[in-house]
Amino acid sequence: MEFNFLGRAFKGDKVIWCIFIALCIVSLLVVFSATSTIAYRQHNHWSPIFRHAIFLLTGFGLVLFLQKVPSRFFSILLLGLPVSAILLIITMFMGEDVNGAQRWLGVGAFTIQPSEFAKISAIGFVAFFLSKIKPNNESWIFKTLITGIGGLCILIAPENLSTACLLFGVCFILMFIGQVSLKRLGFVALTGIAAVVLLFGSLTLLPESVATKYLPDRLTTWKNRIERHSGDENKAMINEDGSIAYKITDDNYQVSHAKIAIANGGIIGLPGSGTERDFLPQAYSDFIFAIILEETGFLGGLFVLLLYVVLMFRCGVLASKCEKKFPRYLILGSALILTIQALANMAVAVNLIPVTGQPLPLISRGGTSTIITCAYFGIILACSSKINDEHEDVDEGIANVDFETTENITE
């Protein structure tokens, strides 16, 4: 009886459920430790983790709801594209400025991040049109996809370039998987590479005085981040006596303390005894993977990395079993955006790429991002439950055929 109840309550692929629950547990533990600096400033020390737990519970409820929704109903995400575009435009003029970026829109006592709604809407948009693609309509579907996704990314880019690049990259991979003409995709890729090289080449060549005076603040921020990452600011210096000197400045502050956190962690980490959570400004968000490495060591970081890798692999298996194209692309799109975003966050923490501001999906402390990440899992589970139902129907049919055959033989 208990097993049947759990089976009805938790539909969909059990491996995806295990990954989701594991990420939630890791999130609660790490965020509880990483938000110590926030807790010290508040009367109630439990307030930060309580807030995060509320968002996780809300997201969990959303997953339980979405897992029972037939996959065809997710085509409603098409409507999310124009709505997201409108919200992004409003945010440009009326958004709240946080840490030098105007990415949040205040709605009463709450703030939302329209770019998160844009991401999930774009995945549904691309999945829907790719499911309808045929040789005789590929041209206009491709133009529709590029116009919709390109326009959305242009609206996101001024305040959140990394999210725009992430979203466009995932949609591009989906179009490749959806067998859009390689010639068309090649043209888009070359155009995008040329635009990026031209933009960052121009930013690099511009003198600092000209960039500060005439360019928008965000362009100057991108320029500084690239220069810091590729320059000598993060490199140690050797003194005349052979000793190593490393100077922490405002420019390399985050990266330096992330490196210290990783070095402190070693192989097994310092559970509950990390110190860099008190120094990293975004210890519970952008640099939470550095805190994971400090408190759980290399082994804990490897475990978290494997959770996302297994998620991508398992979703690939589920997508290959989908008979219908729409749920197949929904599964792949959701898994791709979660996995690539996770890898980007980890790469920033270990200083492989410049600081991007991408949270670690489902682990980093957040509001909108946590709820939307749970929605991705709900979509994956909903599509996988359809696969399981189809397999159960086939198994029952085979069982019935065998039973009837046995009766005939007996007679």
HSE-up of residue 254 (Cα within 13 Å, Cβ side) = 21
At 150, list the tokens: 């390109």
* Rounded Cα distance, 390 and 367, in Å: 35
Give the total number of structural domains in the chain. 1
Look up the pTM and report it.
0.86
Does residue 125 contact residue 77 with C-beta atoms inside 8 Å? yes
For residue 209, what pLDDT is reported? 65
* Rounded Cα distance, 332 and 346, in Å: 21
* Rounded Cα distance, 326 and 322, in Å: 9
HSE-up of residue 207 (Cα within 13 Å, Cβ side) = 3
Question: Would you give the DSSP letter of residue 229?
Answer: H
| Amino acid letter, 175 | M
Sole residue written with tokens 């979660």: 338
Q: How far apart are the first and last CA of the chain?
A: 36
Q: What contacts 54, CB < 8 A, 6 or more positions away?
A: none
Does residue 104 contact residue 163 with C-beta atoms inside 8 Å? no
Parent domain of 53: 11-236+244-390
Residue 405 falls within a domain, yes or no? no
* Rounded Cα distance, 186 and 6, in Å: 47
Sole residue written with tokens 């992330």: 258
Helices 138-156 + 77-94 axis angle, to 10: 30
Residue 408 falls within a domain, yes or no? no
**DSSP code string of 269-327:** --TT--SGGGT-TTTTTTTHHHHHHHHHHHHHHHHHHHHHHHHHHHHHHHHHH-SSHHH
Residue 308 falls within a domain, yes or no? yes
Residue 191 falls within a domain, yes or no? yes
Residue 407 falls within a domain, yes or no? no
- CA-based radius of gyration for the chain: 24
Residue 302 falls within a domain, yes or no? yes
- C-alpha distances (whole Å) from 338 to each of 85, 309, 321, 329 are 21, 10, 21, 14
User: Which residue, 285, 290, 47, 267, is CA-closest to 275?
Assistant: 290
Our separate counts of H helices and E strands in the chain read 15, 5
For residue 96, what pLDDT is reported? 76
Q: Could you list the pLDDT tens digit for every one of the 411 residues in the chain?
A: 454 555 666 778 899 999 999 999 999 999 888 877 666 666 666 777 888 899 999 999 999 999 999 989 999 999 999 999 999 998 888 877 766 667 778 766 677 888 999 999 999 999 999 999 888 888 899 999 999 999 999 999 888 888 999 999 999 999 999 888 899 999 999 998 898 888 777 767 766 666 666 556 666 666 666 666 666 555 555 555 555 666 777 667 788 888 888 888 889 888 877 778 877 777 788 889 999 999 999 999 999 999 999 999 999 999 999 889 999 999 999 999 999 999 999 998 888 888 787 899 999 988 889 999 999 999 999 999 877 555 444 444 433 444 344 444 344
For residue 388, what pLDDT is reported? 59
Adjacent-strand bridge partners of 238? 244
Residue 142 falls within a domain, yes or no? yes
Does residue 41 contact residue 90 with C-beta atoms inside 8 Å? no
For residue 401, what pLDDT is reported? 43
Q: Residue length, the chain?
A: 411
Residue 216 falls within a domain, yes or no? yes
Does residue 236 contact residue 246 with C-beta atoms inside 8 Å? yes
